[in-house]
Amino acid sequence: MKYFVLACLCVVALGVLSLFVGVSDVTPMTLLDPATSAHAFEMLMVSRVPRTLALVLAGAALAVAGLIMQMLVRNRFVEPSTAGTVESASLGLLVVMLLAPGLPVILKMLVAAAFALAGTAVFLGILRRVPLRSEFIVPLIGLMLGGVIEAGTNFVAFRHDLLQSLNAYMIGDFSAILRGRYELLWISFGLTCVAYVAADRFTVAGLGQDFTTNLGLDYRKVMAFGMVIVSLVTATVVVTCGVIPFLGLVVPNIIRLVIGDNLRRTLPWVALLGAALVISCDILARLVIAPYEIPIGTIMGVIGSGLFLYFLLRRRGYGE
C-alpha cells in the first residue's frame, strides 16, 4: 500500500509538471501576478488542465485495455494496436466520414467501437483456425490483419480525398485537446472501473475455457464482455486523441514482471503506469523541439517498439 501511494504521488507530480510545460507562459508566478493572472488562469483551465486529464484518462484506459486483451487471448504480446483493433476502429471512422460526416462525436465513437469489435472478432476467429506453435505467431497474425485493414482503409480514403483527415485520427496527438473536446474520455474511465469490478472473471477466463466452465462461468460471455470493453476504450481514445501504439503492450508486461498475473492486483498498477508513461511522453514531446511539438504517438512508438523488441529478445527470462 505504501508503494502504491508513492506511485500515485508520482503521477500527481507528473500531472502538475504537465500543467506548466508549453509555449504559453503559464507558471506559478504568472498565476500569482495580478497583471498576468487572468490570461494564465484562462489558459490553464481551457487547455492545460483538460490536456493533463486527457493524458491520464487515455493512458490508464489503454494500458488496462491491453492487459484485458492479453489475459483473454492468453498472450503477452497482444494489445489493440497488434490485433487489428485500432485499424478496424479507423475503418469505422472512414465509413462515418463517407456516409454521415455530420454525426455527433459520441455516435462516431460508437460506430468506431462496433468496427473495432468486429475486427477483434475476426482476429480471434483466425486464432481458432491457426495452429499456434509459438506465442509470437499471435501478434504476427494481428499485425498482418491490421496491415490488410489499414491498406484497404487508406486506399478508399485516398480515392475519396480523405487520407489527410483519416491520418489526423491515426497520429496520437494531444495538442488540440481543449475544454469541451476531451470529455468523451471519461467513458473510458468508467470502463476501466467496470474492468476492475470484473477482474476476477477475466483472470479465470485467462486460464482457459475448460477451467472457466468448471467454475460455473460462461466463457463466451466473459470473452465478449472483455472485448466490448477493449473495443469501446480503443474507439474512445482514437476518436479523441488518435492512436498511441504499444502502450497496452509494454505497460502490462512491465507490471507483470514485478507483480504477477492476478488481474485485480495488477490492474491499478497498470492504470497508474500507463498514465505516468503517457504524461512523460507528452512532456518530452513538448520539450524536444520547443516551441514546436512532436506527436506523442511518435514518441510512444519509438519507446514502445524498443521495449517490445526487448521483451521478445529476453523470452527465456520471461517465464519460459
pLDDT digits (tens, 9 = 90+) for 251-309: 998 888 888 777 788 889 999 999 999 999 999 988 888 788 888 888 888 888 888 88
pLDDT digits (tens, 9 = 90+) for 80-89: 888 888 899 9
Query: What pLDDT was estimated at residue 118?
Result: 92
Domain with 209 in it: 2-171+179-318
Residue 72 has pLDDT above 90, yes or no: no
* Higher pLDDT pick, 290 / 194: 194
Query: What pLDDT was estimated at residue 132?
Result: 67
Q: Which letter, b or e, does each residue of 193-227 get, where b requires 16 or more Cβ atoms within 10 Å of its Cβ?
A: eebbebbebbbbbbeeeeebeeeebebeebbebbb
The cell for 175 is: 495538442
The one-letter code for the residue type at 56 is V
Confidence band, pLDDT 50/70/90 cuts, at residue 133: low
Question: Among 198-207, 244-253, 272-281, where is mean pLDDT lowest?
Answer: 198-207
CATH number, domain containing residue 192: 1.10.3470.10
pLDDT digits (tens, 9 = 90+) for 220-231: 888 888 889 988
Confidence band, pLDDT 50/70/90 cuts, at residue 320: very low
Q: What's the chain's average pLDDT?
A: 85
Distance CA 239, CA 241 (A): 6
Which DSSP string do the residues of 66-80 spell out, in sequence order?
HHHHHHHHT-TT--G
- What does pTM read for this prediction? 0.87
What's the structural domain count of the chain?
1
Whether 68 contacts 198, CB under 8 Å: no
What is the crossing angle of helices 296-313 and 247-258, to 10°? 50
Confidence band, pLDDT 50/70/90 cuts, at residue 152: very high
Query: What pLDDT was estimated at residue 201?
Result: 85
